[in-house]
Amino acid sequence: MIRYFRANPNYIGWKAFGVILVSLGLIIATGYVELLTFSDRNLYVKKTTINDSFGSLTNFAGDDEELNLLLLSDFHNHSLDYKNTNIVGEINKIKDEKKVDLIAITGDFIDDGTRDDDIADIDKVFEALSSFSVPTFFTTGNHERNAFGGMVEKELALVKKYNFTYLDYLGGNVPTDKYNNPDYYATIDEKAYPGNYYVYGNTLIIGAKDPYLGNDGSSLYSEAKYEMYDRLSGAYEAAQKDKNFSNVKYKILITHKPNYYDYSYLKYDFDLILCGHTHGGQVNVFNFRSGMFAHGYYEDKKMYVTQGLGVNNTYPFRIGTQNELSYLTIKS
């Protein structure tokens, strides 16, 4: 066959072979450039405008036209310094230049690599956020349960220190003996961080911590989705008993993972869902979104998934995704 190709240099097989070689070279070159450009080095403030088609929005300043919020997630012990900026400086810059009505923190600020100096950095981030003096909501992610040496307690102590609201349903609808690892948060008095839900004007804020995934550390999604359903149902039922619930027209869910949308979140027809967890797919060449929900606003589901502020210790790099501090404007 090689002898035939030599005798027929214009044969389509040679052309195809050349196209394949060039394509492979472009893919490798593009991946290398993206690795250099979009690795875990820079921090970007991503500004997104979302239209509330139902006209039911009310923010906490009494303005029925617009809600501006900051969404932070998945810090994963990143340093305060990025190649292009400092996160505290970036937060302070937003404070000086932008209106912020609400702040949402959706977990994985710590993980199994967290040490005291990481907690000190988180303290500085939380301190900067507290200077906005706006309602600030916090919920845990899946990596909080992997942290060692009392780091979860130290993280939640910062939540309490700055008067952030820890969103988690603590009522009796969740059979903790079935779902929860006895060692998971065993030393934490979660009743010291009440949170279930909050009603401001005609806006409901609700959330739940990320479900436990099995005593052996395995991802028992079949169990976890039931726990999320129970926690969210309990929180929503508690909210319905609030004397101001009849005023609610706009509902916001703050949670870590987008994964439970079809099973849990869809039931309550939220007007806005805020999530993290996916790191934008983390490896996302040619803007191919790996996973069901990678990043950005999913209009049909009214769900925004941030790419997060860092990456975990297991895969400490990004390709084709960005460290993201999300600034969202919702217009009525």
Q: What is the pLDDT of residues 182-238, one digit of tens each?
A: 344 434 445 444 556 888 878 899 987 787 654 444 455 667 777 788 788 888 888
Q: Are strands 296-298 and 250-254 parallel, antiparallel or unpaired?
A: unpaired
Give residue 294's pLDDT.
Answer: 78
Give residue 178's pLDDT.
Answer: 42
Report how far apart, in Å, the C-alpha atoms of 4 and of each of 8, 17, 20, 21, 198 are.
Answer: 6, 15, 20, 20, 76
> In which order are the strands placed within the sheet that holds 303-305?
197-200, 203-207, 250-254, 272-275, 303-305, 296-298
Q: How far apart are CA 94 and CA 274, in angstroms?
A: 19
Residues 6+ apart with CB under 8 A from 154: 116, 119
Give residue 62's pLDDT.
Answer: 62
Phi, psi of 272 (to 5 degrees): -155, 130
Residues of the chain with pLDDT under 50: 1, 5, 36-38, 172-189, 191-193, 214-218
Give residue 264's pLDDT.
Answer: 87
Q: How far apart are CA 234 and CA 305, in angstroms?
A: 24
SS3 content of the chain, % helix, strand, coil (to 5): 35, 20, 45
Nearest to 46 by CA among 252, 235, 278, 296: 296
Phi, psi of 251 (to 5 degrees): -120, 125
Give residue 53's pLDDT.
Answer: 62
Give residue 278's pLDDT.
Answer: 87
Give residue 164's pLDDT.
Answer: 92
Cβ neighbours, 10 Å, residue 122: 22
